Structure 1
Amino acid sequence: PVVTTETLQVCVEPSRNAPDLLEAIDAETPPTFIVHTAEDRTVPVTDSLALAEHLSAVGVPFELHIFPSGAHGMALGTAFTSTGRPEMVDPAFAQWFDLAVNWLHREFPIV
């Protein structure tokens, strides 16, 4: 999940300022795998786009996948993780797991 200043405002006391996590990104930030859906109504897809933009600006390797459908909290997008809710099953979205495993093997090869 991407947490930005806007999404933190919901969790932070009104008297405290939430940190801008995107400003904390620097060349020491680890490689990042990002998955989002365009339909997410809890965290705007623009948060993931902003994260990718900041990572790119400082040269941090990343991979970004935005799937067209799916609500927030899709987990694996399979029946196993759907808690019986059919709207949480999406075979196209479920590809993210294999994509992430392949990315991990490329970014962090086992010698």
Structure 2
Amino acid sequence: MELIIKIAKDHGGVSVFGGVAERTHEGNDLYMETKESGVINEENIAESKVALVYGQMNEPPGARMRVGLTALTMAEYFRDVNEQDVLLFIDNIYRFVHAGSEVSPVLG
């Protein structure tokens, strides 16, 4: 959390957080903290300095795997189109890999 705020306020960059298999209350806590710190601006979303993407633990592995890929796509957009510095967080990378291993046998 501290790193997201520091990147936003001191460096002027954007952070993208991909919460793979997050618990609902953990995601809500992060959202509320970023909102209270001013990193998320609900009055003018364009001025927000963080994008949050969540896939909950109770979702199928394909949906959980897509969270990491969606966060990466968002980070690439901010970097390439908006020409902003981006910090990408994937929490928890183990759960991301695990979701991929659950999906791969189905895909062949």
**Which category describes the TM-score, using the shorter chain as reference length?**
0.3 to 0.5
Relative to the length of structure 2, the TM-score reads 0.41
Whose relative contact order is higher, 1 or 2, with alpha carbons under 8 Å and at least 6 apart? 2
Greater fraction of residues in strand:
2
Greater fraction of residues in helix:
2
Relative to the length of structure 1, the TM-score reads 0.41
Higher Rg: 1
